[in-house]
Amino acid sequence: MLRVKTYLIVVHIAGWLLFMAFPLLFLNGGQQGGNVFKLLQSPYYWLFCFTYIFLFYINGYFFIPKLFLKKGYLKYALVTIILYTGVYFLQPYDKLLRHNERRGNIYTRQQGPSPMQTDNPGEHMPPPPYDRMYGEDPGHRPPFGHGEKPPQFGPGPGNEQFARHMPFDTISLFIFIMIMALSTAIKTIQQWQLTEQRATQAEADKASAELSFLKAQINPHFLFNTLNNIYTLAVIKDDNAPDSIMKLSNIMRYVTDDANEDFVSLQSEVDCINDYIELQRLRVGEKTAIDITISGNIDPKRIAPLILMTFVENVFKYGVSKHETSAIIIRVSATEKEIAFFCENRIFHDANMNNRTGIGLKNTRKRLEHLYAGKHLLAITNQDNLYTVNLTLQT
């Protein structure tokens, strides 16, 4: 942020130095270099520069945010007219130009007498433009009517006034429009960029809040089911209860600590799955065959926490029967570019009857959309009472 502000300051300084150099280049008229320093000492030069600098910043940093960007177009147009009227009566460019003309006349007198002041002025002056058009012989010139005057060339009473004011007002108007348009464009673009940044940040904050909410929904559900398993072991006084409590402790540590991160190591997720399956083995008994395979180099891989656990939970919740044999298949594999998960089980309970399961899968889909946007493929099928999940994550 500091670098951006420094860059903007440097750009502004460079731009104004270039703007202030234009009068020095164009009004010097190819005279000696010492005249540049004389022009810098002129109060009219600084009046010209600071007038347009003031217009640039008061328009860009006050009138544009307060009026134009708030759709006060009529008020902004009125302010613009008032500003131009002030510039018109102040005449910073006209005053600078007239001061430069007087300085040029003084400089000419200091260089020596003009051709008109010499003994023979005709030898230093070109022929009049009228003679160049028709020749020096008066007989070749067209006659003028009674009271008609020959055409005037060069400055005259009327021509001097026209030449003095008309071009200069046009230039002042051009500079005014250029300064106002430039400041308006810069401030409008900055405001648009700021709006885009705020919108992007708002989307990121919204996504982060949604992820935190989804995790808060997952954690109690998962812990509640696991505690039920430990309670069952305690009731039947199973000797595996102490080891099961240790496994539950590991799971709770993972759920409460590691799951607060956006991504964790795949090994941590797999360890949680293994501990959970070991707890489930004690509950389901020998009627349920559990086939789990972990393959590939999972150590360097990272994954969003509890993404796979949601599907493993559903496998044991709806794929186990107390009266019938069942088979559960779970596969986790890691390659160089992706993580693949597969699970398959029969359905002994209608998943559509349980709203909590529907919420769990819905939350998992949302988390995948946020954390793996365009980098995941989830396929869930429920056919012939056989439920399968295929999930591929690009890493």
Per-residue pLDDT at 316 exceeds 80: yes
Number of H helices, E strands in the chain: 11, 7
Domains of the chain in start order, with CATH, are 2-111+159-199 (no CATH), 238-394 (3.30.565.10)
Please state the separation of Cα 53 from the chain's center in Å. Answer: 28
Per-residue pLDDT at 116 exceeds 50: no
Closest C-alpha to 190, from 4, 3, 2: 4
Q: Name the range with the highest mean pLDDT among 69-83, 92-106, 157-171, 225-239.
A: 69-83
pLDDT per position as a tens digit, 252-284: 888 878 777 889 999 999 999 999 998 888 778
The H or E element that residue 329 is part of is strand 326-334
Residue 306: HSE in the Cβ half-sphere, 13 Å Cα cutoff: 32
| Pairing relationship of beta strands 338-346 and 376-383 according to DSSP bridges | unpaired
pLDDT top residue among 309 and 129: 309
Residue 46: HSE in the Cβ half-sphere, 13 Å Cα cutoff: 6
pLDDT per position as a tens digit, 381-390: 988 889 999 9
Q: What is the mean pLDDT of residues 160-188?
A: 72
- Residue pair 276/230 in contact by the 8 Å Cβ criterion: no
Q: Whose structure tokens read 């926490």?
A: 305
pLDDT per position as a tens digit, 321-339: 888 889 999 999 999 999 9
Per-residue pLDDT at 169 exceeds 50: yes
Per-residue pLDDT at 319 exceeds 90: no
Distance CA 338, CA 335 (A): 5
pLDDT per position as a tens digit, 197-219: 888 887 777 777 666 655 655 55
Distance CA 117, CA 105 (A): 15
Q: What is the pLDDT of residue 217?
A: 53
Vertex 218, ends 213 and 224: CA angle to 5°? 135
Q: What is the pLDDT of residue 167?
A: 46
Residue 122, C-beta contacts closer than 8 angstroms, at least 6 positions apart: none
Distance CA 22, CA 175 (A): 12
- Residue pair 391/340 in contact by the 8 Å Cβ criterion: yes
Q: Name the range with the highest mean pLDDT among 6-10, 52-56, 69-73, 197-201.
A: 52-56
Q: What is the pLDDT of residue 104?
A: 54
Residue 258, C-beta contacts closer than 8 angstroms, at least 6 positions apart: 264, 268, 305
Q: What is the pLDDT of residue 34?
A: 53
Q: What is the pLDDT of residue 256?
A: 78
Q: Name the range with the highest mean pLDDT among 12-26, 152-166, 357-371.
A: 12-26
Distance between first and last Cα of the chain = 31
